[in-house]
A = this chain, B = another copy of it.
Amino acid sequence: MDIFNKTRALFHLPEGMTYLDGNSLGPLPYAAQERVDAMIRDQWGELLITGWNKAGWMEQPSRVGDRVAKLIGAEAGHVVMGDTLSIKVYQALASALELNPDRKVILSDSGNFPSDLYMAEGLIRTLDRDLELRIVEPEDVEAALGDDIAVMMLTQVDYRTGRMHDMARLTALAHDAGAIAMWDLAHSAGAVPVDVAAANADFAVGCSYKYLNSGPGGPAFIYVAPRHADLVNPALSGWLGHASPFAFDLNYQPGAGIERMRVGTPPVIQLAALEAALDVWDMVDMADVRARAVELSEMFITEVESRCPELKLASPRDATQRGSQVSFTHPEGYAIMQALIAHGVIGDFRAPDILRFGITPLYVGEADIMNAVTALQNIMDGRLWDRDAYKVRSRVT
């Protein structure tokens, strides 16, 4: 697919590095560096405070949100950028609970990203009214959707294994059970085709620094279904979510729709990087990206299993149930990943024993996959890892 040669050329990939960690932090799009530099020089430098109007900083969170909306199947005008994913989880969950006030249980699974669970825990403790965070195994979510569930809060793609929930099906089941469905798309947006509107999701949140390549600490996004957008009353009711921020009223009045999910001053510089990074997405069709990711993932699995039999596949074998990453386990996974990194192949390790590899066709091709497998085989065959590395790490954490 020729288009991926074109997109690859838009990213800086360090000489000698095979980068299979775009599911953690996407690489630098050259355009992002240029855009940030120009924004700082021409907007911050020259316009100063007038940049809020003249350079459109004030509308930037919604303008960029509309572009992210396209990647997750959201209706235009229903996604806004800002803050971090953890903050957006808190906002969405607080609103979801408020839409279902007579129920007491937040249902999640053990494959959710821990920060989502921590934020829920903090919200429950803050609310102090008998709520329960019930964490089941991912395969038990469906059975756990009883009539006590207020909110089903899930991350679609498991950050460890890449196991992917069926968003449309679970959302429908949640609704049948009278629950609100809230999805974390951290490992979905830009990774797999997503259609929050078709799935009828109530809330969705995600981050931009993984598959969307906005750089370290890039802003998060939040989606609120149109049917709820003017009903929710924000827990984090900041001035930029106010109906008239510059009236400086002493009382809060929520802004129209998704605007009320804004909180404080948006991170204009990080948003500039994201805006440039999103240009790459205008060149491709998500279905093509997905097809290519599946092709590369299958190749990676086949090669690793035949050449490194000690590694056990931790991801679903069925590509339709897998996000855009492939994970293997090994008892010395940490040490093996350290050795791989020393050999120029960047994946990452997740406790207790997972080696995780992101498959990101915008800039990863067959040669990268084969490089990674060869390095992995050399390390496994030659026992080229430090058996004490994991012990060292265990002491540190």
Residues of A within 8 A of B (CB): 12, 14, 17, 19, 21, 24-25, 27-28, 32-33, 36-37, 40-41, 43-46, 48-52, 57, 83-87, 90, 94, 110, 113-115, 117-119, 121-123, 125-129, 135, 207, 209, 215-220, 233-240, 242, 244, 246-252, 263-271, 273, 341, 346, 348, 350-351, 397
Contacts and interface: CB of A to CB of B under 8 A. Distances in A.
Contact of A264 (B121, B220, B244, B273): B220
Nearest to A233: B125
A12 B40 CA distance: 11
8 nearest A-B pairs in the assembled complex, by CB-CB distance: A84-B264, A122-B237, A115-B239, A86-B264, A86-B238, A216-B268, A217-B267, A118-B252
Contacts of A351: 246-248
A40 B215 contact: yes
A290 to B, nearest CB: 23
A118 B237 contact: yes
A215 B268 contact: yes
Contacts of A114: 239, 242, 248-250
A83 B85 CA distance: 11
A251 B86 CA distance: 15
Contacts of A267: 217-219, 267, 270
A123 B117 CA distance: 20
A347 to B, nearest CB: 9
A306 B52 CA distance: 33
Nearest to A271: B217
A108 to B, nearest CB: 9
A28 B12 contact: no
Given A40-B36, A122-B234, A263 B24 contact: no
A348 B48 CA distance: 12
Contacts of A51: 25, 216
B84 A265 contact: yes
A269 B40 contact: no
Contacts of A263: 84, 86-87
16 contacts: A36-B36, A37-B37, A83-B264, A85-B264, A86-B264, A87-B264, A117-B252, A119-B237, A122-B235, A122-B237, A125-B237, A126-B126, A127-B127, A218-B267, A246-B351, A267-B270
Given A48-B27, A248-B351, A250-B110, A236 B122 contact: yes
Nearest to A216: B268
Contacts of A348: 49
A228 to B, nearest CB: 17
Nearest to A116: B239
Contacts of A119: 236-238
A90 B84 CA distance: 15
Given A14-B46, A27-B48, A252-B121, A269 B217 contact: yes
A234 B122 CA distance: 7
A236 B110 contact: no
A44 B28 contact: yes
Nearest to A249: B114
Nearest to A98: B126
